[in-house]
Amino acid sequence: MRNILLPFWFILILLPGTVSAQACCSAGTPIAGSLDLSIPEANTWRLTLSYEYNVLDDVIAGSNEIKGLRSRLSQSVLLDISYGYNSRISLTGLFTYLRQTRKLNGSNTTTVVSGAGDAALFLIYSILNPSIIKQRRWATGIGLKFPTGASDIKNGSVPFSADLQPGSGSWDGVFWTSFSQGYLPIRFSWFVGSTYRINGTNNRYKNTASGLGYHFGNEFLLNLGGVYSTKSLFNFSLQLRYRNTAIDRLGSLEVSNTGGNWIYLIHGININFPPLSVKLNGQLPIYRRLNDIQLTTSYRAGISLSMDLAGHTY
């Protein structure tokens, strides 16, 4: 939990060692963790450009932090294009770019892998819309992630590890739901939501000896938090996020140092000046129980800029 203030000072694996630690994250941009499926008004476009800064310095054995010989910085840019078709139905497209920097501590060995990541398309349906009397919203969505990012980038003749590639090389299904409740004139609301990602198999990234495909473990997220709105331009949010990933597989073989459970504390600040809004957020792990030994997130920070544009009336 060191360097807590650093998240706000930005915007733009397989190496030998005493500790062999697989990074905890799936290949490419973490689509499920990056989802912010806010629903635009009917006949309105919403464009959101985001930057995420993810520092992986912690090596965890089970639930204990140990000294490791490597670290990683993952930076991603996400473009979210959403359209509110009517008061209940909206579409969202997500496009990504990823840059990963891996460093062997104690030496000058640094590896950089970058490129366009995977893309995704979501259909969102608002089951309950808020009103003056009932200030609640319930929405659900279904999405498909496309393997548009490269998943076979090589270091010479040897491919980089699957978790370091910009793309996952698989078709994935994503299911999402969220409920929120407000209490106007009290300026507080709470929300709960979950995301489940079912990953396919990466047939483009194959073990050269066996020809087996790589399958990242399915991912589940559960979020619970609250938002306080001030009379000024600022909104403040605080939430807990539980994350579970199943163990990865190479063909039918389990990859032992993958999968686990995390709980994160996420704090955010929204600055609203319609039609623009800016969001700053920081994320810190408060609980981790992982399989075997893994390199995992020390802290993550992000910033995003959103703009609403009125569409044509048909």
The SS3 call for residue 31 is helix
Indicate whether 262 belongs to any domain.
yes
Residue 175 resides in a domain: yes
- The CA distance from 205 to 28, in Å, is 13
Task: Report whether 206 contacts 215 (CB < 8 A).
Answer: no
| Exposed / middle / buried, residue 32 (Cβ in 10 Å: 0-12, 13-18, 19+) | buried
Parallel, antiparallel, or unpaired for β 22-23 and 293-296? parallel
Report the CATH number that the domain containing residue 128 is assigned in CATH.
2.40.160.40
Count CB neighbours of 230 within 10 A. Answer: 9
Q: What are phi and psi of 274, to 5 degrees?
A: -45, 140
Token couple for 139: 């929405």
Is residue 314 in a domain?
no
- Domain assignment present for residue 61? The answer is yes
- Phi/psi of residue 34, nearest 5 degrees: -95, -5
Residue tagged 């198999």 (tokens): 201
Question: What is the residue whose two structure tokens read 């703009």?
Answer: 307
Question: Do residues 228 and 182 make contact, with C-beta atoms less than 8 angstroms apart?
Answer: no
| Residue 166 CB neighbour total at 10 angstroms | 25
Residue 1 covered by a domain: no
**Domain extent for 153:** 6-308
Q: How far apart are CA 40 and CA 89, in angstroms?
A: 9
Question: What is the SS3 assignment for 120-143?
Answer: EEEEEEEEECCCCCCCEEEEEEEE
Residue 235: what residue type? N
Give the pLDDT confidence of 252-285 residue by residue, as tens digits.
899 999 999 999 999 999 999 989 999 999 999 9
pLDDT of residue 108: 76
> What confidence score (pLDDT) does residue 20 get?
37
In angstroms, the CA 297 to CA 61 distance is 14
Residue 266's closest CA among 279, 283, 278, 280? 283
The predicted pLDDT at position 13 comes to 28
Three-state DSSP state, 129: coil
Asked if residue 313 is part of any domain, the answer here is: no
Tokens of 281: 């957020």
Q: What residues contact residue 23 under an 8 Å CB cut-off, 6+ apart?
A: 13, 56, 72, 163, 164, 294, 295, 296
Identify the pLDDT of residue 292. Answer: 96
The count of structural domains within the chain is: 1
Tell me the pLDDT of the chain (314 aa) as tens digits: 444 333 333 333 222 233 334 455 555 556 666 666 678 889 999 999 999 999 999 999 999 999 888 899 999 999 999 999 999 999 999 999 999 999 987 777 899 999 999 999 999 999 999 988 889 999 999 999 999 999 989 888 888 888 899 999 999 999 999 999 999 889 999 999 999 999 999 876 565 455 678 899 999 999 999 999 998 899 999 999 999 999 999 888 999 999 999 999 999 999 999 899 999 999 999 999 999 999 999 999 999 999 999 866 55
Q: Report d(CA 192, CA 224) in Å as an integer.
A: 5
Classify residue 289: in a domain, yes or no. Answer: yes
Paired tokens of 128: 């309950």
Q: Which residues touch 311 (CB under 8 Å, ≥6 apart)?
A: 43, 44, 45, 83
For 300, half-sphere exposure in the C-beta direction (CA atoms, 13 angstrom radius) is 21
Whether residue 41 lies inside any domain: the answer is yes
3-class DSSP assignment, residue 128: strand
What local confidence, expressed as pLDDT, does residue 206 receive?
61
Cis peptide before 275 (omega within 30 of 0): yes
Cβ distance 221 to 206 under 8 Å? Answer: no
| Tokens at 272, concatenated | 């609203």
Q: Answer whether 0.75 is exceeded by the pTM.
A: yes
Q: Where are the alpha helices (DSSP H) in the chain?
A: 31-34
